[in-house]
Amino acid sequence: MSDAGLAVIGVTACNQKLGLHPFNIVGEKYLLSIADATNAWPLVIPSLGHCPAESILPRLDGILFTGSPSNIEPHHFQGQPSEADTHHDPKRDATTLPLLKAAIDAGVPVLAICRGFQEMNVVYGGTLHQKLHEVGGYIEHREDKTKPVDVQYGISHEVQIEPGGLLHEAWGRSSAEVNSVHTQGVDRLGVGLRPEAFASDGLVEAFSVREAKNFALGVQWHPEWKVLEHPFYTAIFKLFSDACQRHAMNRVR
Point out the residues that are catalytic. Answer: 114, 222, 224
CB-CB contact of 207 with 192 (8 Å): no
Read off the DSSP letter of residue 15. E
Residues of the chain by 3-state class (helix, strand, coil), percent to 5:
35, 25, 40
- Alpha carbons 187 and 249: distance in angstroms, whole number: 38
**Residue among 188, 180, 191, 184 nearest 221 (CA):** 180
C-alpha dihedral sign at 8, 150, 13, 192: positive
CB-CB contact of 66 with 27 (8 Å): yes
